[in-house]
Amino acid sequence: MYKKIILDNGLRIMLVPNKNTQAVTVLAVVGAGSKYETKKNNGISHFVEHMFFKGTKKRPNALAISETLDRVGGFYNAFTSKEYTGYFAKVDAKHSDLALDWVSDMFLNSKIESKQIEKERGVIIEELNMYLDTPVRHIRDLFEELLYGDQPAGWETIGTKENLKKVQRKDFIDYIQNHYSSKNTIVCVSGNFSQAKMLEDIKRKFKTINKKKPQSKEKVIEVQTEPQIHLKFKETDQTHFCLGVRAFDLFSPKIYVQEILATILGGNMSSRLFIKVREKNGLAYYIKTDAESFTDSGYLVTQAGIPHSALSKAVAMILKEYKNLAGQIIAESELKKAKDYLKGNLVLSLESSDALASFYAGQELLTSKILTLKEECAKIDKVKASEVRALAKEIFRKESLNLAIIGPHKNENELQKLMNL
């Protein structure tokens, strides 16, 4: 059960009460992420997120910000993605007023001081260095760069070192004014709280929010006529790669079919690729397939870490499974297993107040439409085996293949020969 309220200024409030918990999560999420950036300010969405933790008039520095919730054992954080940025606090229900005050204060009153910007540059550059030294994470960034190229969808959310060193306070102020607005912000509260009191408190706390119409993002341009490979040479102990294809956005009726397709391929420890690549051939510790959907783009990708010498063999195995799914109707038992896995996983993932807040706020922000847990499960149940095969035939084509690699490899010739379905 949830309640949605839209204020006169456009601010959307989502209330998700649950009396069977002692926790409350307050989440403020805004439709502003790296897809809303330009080449010049790429990385600023994430940088803004960091700066919101550096002080307000009421809580003048980072220590005051963090101590507020540390003193009551709260859990708090923020996140930046391609299409949104969020700030949340999860506390014992008796401290819900404090959580709302903390989130609203940071969201509306952060000082963004120049001296703090200078300090934080180094912090974020080291965060970037950490990602570059973590190929299991960085490979996904390279895969998206391969898919989308030099446009916001293909840029890294954290930005570039060049931009991080140049951005100034005015850039932050302009970005916040142009992208943080009541029109694209949702405040969601989940857990054990009084709905009437919380609603009035949110109205009062957020009455000063910017009402300016936010700037829109560029539409993703997708053009591909042949297989693409991106090799990043690095002396690693293991080769990491992503092999995948373009798929469907959040508004496509096919997203539930592609979720099931991804689950069958590599969504769990009994999936086809996990059994074939890891259990039968011992080539990987981790291998997984998942589907990613944005508001205007999407993809399905298999990712793995394997011995350097096994790259061609692993790629060939994955492509064979792609081809098999496109050429054969899957058994009803395998389809049912994938459906039951997705539904069970969804149920378990929504056990906590912070997960519920993200579930409802995320849907509302990105699609302006809410599907409950029951409705989501019904969508999954409706998928037919014939639809899975049809989708596999549609997306698994030679000209649609994309392969990103991190490891000590330089020669693409052998891999190019493998890129065939």
Q: Is 49 a catalytic residue?
A: yes
List strand residue ranges (DSSP E) for 57-184, in order. Answer: 75-80, 85-92
Distance between CA atoms of residues 148 and 292, nearest Å: 14
The answer to whether 8 touches 337, Cβ cutoff 8 Å, is no
In three-state secondary structure terms, 244 is strand
3 forms bridges with which residues in the sheet?
Answer: 15
> Which letter does DSSP use for residue 230 in this model?
E
CA 412, CA 137: separation in Å to the nearest integer? 22
State the catalytic residue, choosing from 49, 292, 364, 376. Answer: 49
CA distance 69 to 26: 12
Given the structure tokens 């096919």, which residue do they identify?
Answer: 254
In the sheet that holds 185-191, the strands lie side by side as 3-6, 12-17, 185-191, 23-30, 85-92, 75-80
SS3 state of residue 383: coil
Structure tokens at 187: 């405040």
Contact 30, 10 (CB under 8 A): no
The CA-atom distances, in angstroms, between 225 and each of 145, 231, 397 are 16, 19, 10
DSSP secondary structure of 133-173 = T-HHHHHHHHHHHHHH-SSGGGS-TT--HHHHHH--HHHHH
Give, in order, the Cα–Cα distances in Å from 299 to each of 61, 266, 295, 308. Answer: 41, 14, 12, 26
For 68, residues 6+ apart whose C-beta sits below 8 A from its C-beta are 59, 98, 102
Nearest to 81 by CA among 129, 144, 161, 10: 144
Helix (H) or strand (E) holding 290: strand 287-293
Active site members: 49
